[in-house]
A and B are shown apart, each in its own frame.
Chain A
Amino acid sequence: MRDTKFTSRSPLLAAYSTLVFAFIYLPIVVLILYSFNRDGVGGFPPRHFTLDWYRQLFSDSAIWDSVVNSLIVAAASVAMSLTLGLLAALALDRANFPGKVLFRRLVLLPLILPGIITGLSLLMFAVFAGMQLSLFTVFLGHGTALISVATTEIFAGLQKLDRAQEEASLDLGATPWQTFWRVTLPNLKLSLIAAGLLIFTLSMDEIAVTFFLIGRDNTLPLEIWGRLRRGITPEINAISALIFSVSVALIVVWYRLRARTMRSSPR
C-alpha cells in the first residue's frame, strides 16, 4: 500500500528538505568545528586544529562556578515542579474543584507566553514581596514555569494507569497512602523520569526568564551572555559544543524513555 505513486520518490522535495536540514544544522556544525580552530572564531577554512580552547575552558573557574549554579537551580526546579506537577496531575485526573479549567490554562501560560512576560511578572512579585534577587528567585521562576511540563507528562501517564490496580490495593486493606506509594507512584515512574529530564534540560538552557531574576551569581547561560558582550572567543564555542552534546544526550535518553512509555501502554 505504501508503494502507491504518492509515496514514491520526489527528488525535488527531497533536495529541498536536505537544504532545510542543512540550514538547521549549519550553525551547530560551524560552532563545533570552530571550537577546534587555533585561529579563533571566523575566517575560512578553519586551518589549525587545537584543543587549547577546551583546555582554557577547563581552567576557567568562573564558567564552572556558573555550571554549578545552573545544576543547583535545575535540580531544585526538577524536584519542585515534579512534586507540584504530580499533585496537579492527580488533581486534574481525579478531583473536581472550582477553577479547574482556569488552572489548566494558567499553568500553560509560561510555556506559551514570551519569556520576558513571565520573567518581569516574577521580578515585580519578588520586589513586591521584598525578596533579594538570587539563585532562589531564578529557581522560583524555573520551577513555576516548568510545572506545566511535569503536569502534562504525568497526566498522560495517569490516563494510561489501570485504576483497577488501585482499587484492588484498597480492597485488600492497604491505606490510601500505601496505595499511592506502592501502586500509583511505581506506575508513573517512566513519566516522572521523562518529565524530570525534560525539565532539567529546559532549566539548564533557560535564559529569557532568568535574565530578569538573576542576582549576583550567574547561571551558565547568563555567564555566557555576559561574555558575549565583551567579545567572542572560541572558548564560548567550546562550552557551547559541550552544552550541545549534553542536551542531545539527555534528549536521546528522554526520547527513548518516552517511546518505551508509549509502547508499554495498550492505548
Chain B
Amino acid sequence: MYSRTYKTLVAVPPLLWVGVFLLLPYALMFAHGFWLVRDGFLVHQWNVQNYRALFTNPLYLQVFLRTARIAASVTLCSLLLGYPLAYYLSFHAGPRKEFLYQLVIIPLWVSYLVRGYAWKTILGSDGVLNGFLQYLHITREPVSFFLYSPFAVILVLTHIYTPFVFLPIYAALEHIPRPLVEASQDLGANRSATFLRVILPLSIPGLLAGAAFAFVLSLGDFLAPLLVGGPSATMIANIVQSLFGAAYDWPLGAAISVCILLITISLLFATERLEKRWSFK
C-alpha cells in the first residue's frame, strides 16, 4: 500500500545520516588504529605497530586486567544487589510493586555526574562518611582511603549500574508464568527448591543481559576513575583519553578503542546467543 517514493523518502534520510555520522566515524576509528604519529603529526601510513605495542607492552595488559577486574566486581556487586531486589519486587512486594518499581527506575535517569559527585562528597577525607564516623567516635582521625581507590570506583559504578541490572532481571521474573511456581509448590518443593529449580533457571536470560550491560559499560568507563579513582584505579579508557589528550597518540588510542569495541560487541553477541539458549519459549 506504500508507494516506492514513500519508501524511498522515509528510508534514505536516516540511512544517509547514520552512514555519515555514525558508520563513517566508527570506520575512521578503525582506520586510525592502523595509522601512526611521527614527529607530532598524524601519518596515514598503514601499519600494525599500534596493535603490536598493545600486546607487547605489559603496561597496557596490566591496565586491561585491572579494568576487567573492576568491571567484574561491579557486575557481581550489581547482581548481588539487583537480583534480590528484583526477586522481592516480583514475588513479594504485593500491591506496592508498581510504586517500588518506579522508585528503582528514577535514579536510572538521574545524571551520572550528579551521582558520582555525590559519592565524592560522601567518601572524601573531610566528607560526610568521615564526619559521621567521627561523630559516632568510631574513628578519631579522618580515614583517607575511602576516596581515590579502586574500591571507590567499584562503589560508584555499582551504584550507577544496579538499576540497569535490576531492569532485565525484573522483566524476566515477571514473565515467569505463575502457575509454574504454584505447580512446583503443589508438588512438594519448598521455597528454596522452587527458587533454585524453577525461578532461577527461568530468569537466567535477564540475569545475563543485566550482567553484560554492567560489565560492558564499566569496561569503557573513564569518568568514575577521574572523579573518585585516583592513580591506583586508572582504567583502560583513561589511557585512551590521555592518548587523545596530552600524550597525543591518536592511532594508539584508536587501537585500544577498537579493542574495547570488539570486546563489547563480542560479549553482547555471546550473551545474546546464551540468552536465546536459556529462554524457554
- A interface, CB within 8 angstroms of B: 1-2, 4-10, 13-14, 16-17, 20-21, 23-28, 30-31, 34, 41-45, 84-85, 87-88, 90-91, 94-95, 97, 99, 103, 106-107, 109-110, 112-118, 120-125, 128, 140, 144, 147, 151, 163, 166-167, 170, 176, 201-202, 205, 207-208, 211-212, 221, 224-225, 228, 232, 236-237, 240, 243-244, 247-248, 251-252, 255
Contacts and interface: CB of A to CB of B under 8 A. Distances in A.
Given A21-B100, A42-B121, 6 more contacts: A24-B107, A120-B254, A125-B28, A205-B109, A237-B121, A240-B113
Interface of B: 1-3, 6-11, 13-15, 17-18, 21-26, 28-29, 32, 81-82, 84-85, 87-89, 91-92, 94, 100, 102-107, 109-115, 117-122, 124, 126-128, 130-132, 134-135, 159, 162-163, 178, 181-182, 185, 191, 194, 216-217, 219-223, 227, 237, 240-241, 244, 250, 253-254, 257, 260-261, 264, 268
B63 to A, nearest CB: 14
A188 to B, nearest CB: 13
Secondary structure class of chain B's binding surface, majority of residues: helix
Contact of A114 (B14, B29, B111, B216): B216
B25 to A, nearest CB: 4
Contacts of A125: 21, 24-25, 28
Contact of B162 (A20, A147, A163): A20
Contacts of B1: 163, 166-167, 170
Contact of A7 (B10, B91, B104): B91
A248 B10 CA distance: 34
Contacts of B21: 122, 125, 140, 144
B120 A228 contact: yes
Given A20-B81, A44-B134, A244-B110, A6 B191 contact: yes
A205 B113 CA distance: 8
A247 B88 contact: no
A31 B107 CA distance: 13
A251 B111 CA distance: 12
Contacts of B194: 6
A176 B114 contact: no
Contacts of B110: 28, 205, 243-244, 247-248
A252 B109 CA distance: 11
- List the 10 shortest-distance A-B pairs measured between CB atoms, nearest first: A114-B220, A44-B131, A27-B118, A121-B25, A95-B7, A88-B14, A91-B11, A125-B25, A205-B111, A90-B10
A232 B117 CA distance: 9
A117 B260 contact: yes
